Structure 1
Amino acid sequence: MPTIAMFYGIIIRMYCSPGEHNPPHIHAYYQEFKAIIDIKNCELSEGKLPSKQLKLALAWAEIHKEELLADWELASNGELPFPIKPLQ
């Protein structure tokens, strides 16, 4: 699962496999916490992150929604997604 962004201790990854299950989503990691974020709605769909890190990850996903959806298409076809600019 390639890392597509890292910022403020948060790691964002996306699985790469043909037919990856919908809805389009990313995996966010922070210390021992793991979460799945729905790209289209920019909402937490599974797991947990501390409040501050969740807000940062959701804001980042909203800002980069189009890029994330493009990466999802690549990943769903078994191709590597492109890195996306982190929050600064």
Structure 2
Amino acid sequence: MPTIAIFFGIVVRMWHDDHPPPHIHVEYQGFEALVAIATGEVTQGQLPRKVASIVKEWCLLHQTELVDNWQKAQHFEPLDRIQGADRD
């Protein structure tokens, strides 16, 4: 599963040809969650409250890039890295 961003120890990935609705896979210190691209909300799994807040803000800020990556993933195209919340 391609990694599209890493920031503050948060790893964001997206699978190729994944199931709808558009989402990202987020991992942080043993926590795992699916996060909706449209809302930035955790839809499955769990993240610490502060991490969920950071991911939501980041997701909404980079929504266009995430949607573009989702479309590429559906066609098995290479995904673009997205700048993290720590500007890395």
For structure 1, list consecutive stretches of 5 or more residues without a partner in the other structure: none
Which of 19, 28, 38 is matched with 1:21 structurally?
19
Matched letter for residue 69 of structure 1 = V
Aligned to 2:54: 56
Aligned to 1:45: 43
Q: Number of aligned pairs?
A: 86
Q: C-alpha root-mean-square deviation of aligned residues, in Å?
A: 0.8
Aligned to 1:74: 72
Shift of 1:70: 0.3
For structure 2, list consecutive stretches of 5 or more residues without a partner in the other structure: none
CA contact (8 A) 1:16 1:80 kept: no
Runs (4+) of structure 1 exceeding 3 A deviation are none
Matched letter for residue 10 of structure 1 = I
Aligned to 1:31: 29
Quick one: percent identity of the two aligned structures? 40
